[in-house]
Chains A and B, each alone.
Chain A
Amino acid sequence: EVQLLESGGGLVQPGGSLRVSCVASGFTFSTYAVGWVRQAPGKGLEWVASITATGGSTFIADSVKGRFAISRDNSKSTLYLQMNSLRAEDTAIYYCAKAVYNVGWYMGFDHWGQGTLVTVSS
């Protein structure tokens, strides 16, 4: 069974940094692209970032470009999102998700974690 378990969320002050993680199991992590999608309280979904299976290519939303970075450690089956210069508008549940195919990260995400809440507030 595919499982994605996020961690690392919490309360951080504006301008601060946070790294959230996602441990994957139940599939060969190193052969699939994965990504992060966030959802502000009471709002819709927003794609944040994706990374290819090898980690050789990353894709970042304009809204977080220059502040967030996505990375992965295939030896640990773990996905990361490093978030710097956080703003109040970054407050959201951050979901980790697995690509439906082992090629083409953009085809869709077929498995999702339960999410981790990041709150940016003073």
Chain B
Amino acid sequence: QSALTQPASVSGSPGQSITISCTATSSDVGSFNYVSWYQQHPGKPPKLMIYAVTNRPSGVSNRFSGSKSGNTASLTISGLQAEDEADYYCSSYTTSSTSIFGGGTKLTVL
């Protein structure tokens, strides 16, 4: 069974940097090269922040960056701002030609 594990919550103060991890708990994600990250504010649809591990869609602030090491992908937000407070989800393609989401991380800006 494929699964992506994220911390339930992270927090940081304005101006700081935070990192949200996303760990694959099985080999079903293959090379883990198709990881994407989404931001979701309450009552809103998700917004794509990072795709294919490190790529940022046009219009997304360069304060957001993605990386990967082994079976763990990470989303880093630098220069934290109040508007960054939201839920964040990672997602990955699997070798079964399906897609899975992590459980989500609630980011609180203190």
The answer to whether A47 and B101 touch across the interface, beta carbons within 8 angstroms, is yes
The answer to whether A106 and B46 touch across the interface, beta carbons within 8 angstroms, is no
Q: Which of A70-122 contact B (CB under 8 A)?
A: 95, 100, 104, 106-110, 112-115
Interface size class of B (residues with CB under 8 A): 20 to 34
A44, A106, A112: the one contacting B93 at CB < 8 Å is A106
B interface, over-half SS = strand
* Bound-complex Cα distance A45 to B6 (A): 13
B38, B51, B87: the one contacting A107 at CB < 8 Å is B51
* Bound-complex Cα distance A47 to B101 (A): 7
* Bound-complex Cα distance A102 to B101 (A): 21
Q: Which residues of A contact B91 (CB under 8 A)?
A: 45, 47, 108
Q: Which residues of B contact A107 (CB under 8 A)?
A: 34, 36, 51-52
The answer to whether A100 and B48 touch across the interface, beta carbons within 8 angstroms, is yes
The answer to whether B98 and A95 touch across the interface, beta carbons within 8 angstroms, is no
Closest to A62 in B: B98
A57 to chain B: closest CB distance in Å?
9
- B100 on the A face (CB < 8 A): yes
Once A95-B46, A100-B57 are accepted as A-B contacts, the answer to whether A110 and B101 lie under 8 Å apart by CB is no
* Bound-complex Cα distance A112 to B46 (A): 7
Closest to A110 in B: B48
Closest to B45 in A: A112
- B97 on the A face (CB < 8 A): yes
A35, A95, A108: the one contacting B51 at CB < 8 Å is A108
Closest to B103 in A: A44
The answer to whether B97 and A44 touch across the interface, beta carbons within 8 angstroms, is no
The answer to whether A112 and B52 touch across the interface, beta carbons within 8 angstroms, is no
The residues of A with any CB-CB pair to B shorter than 8 Å are 35, 37, 44-47, 50, 59-62, 95, 100, 104, 106-110, 112-115
6 A-B pairs with CB atoms under 8 Å apart are A44-B104, A47-B99, A100-B48, A106-B34, A109-B46, A113-B45
The residues of B with any CB-CB pair to A shorter than 8 Å are 34, 36, 38, 40, 45-48, 50-52, 57, 87, 89, 91, 93, 97-104
- Other than A47-B100, A95-B45, A106-B99, give 4 A-B pairs with Cβ distance below 8 A: A45-B38, A45-B89, A47-B98, A108-B52
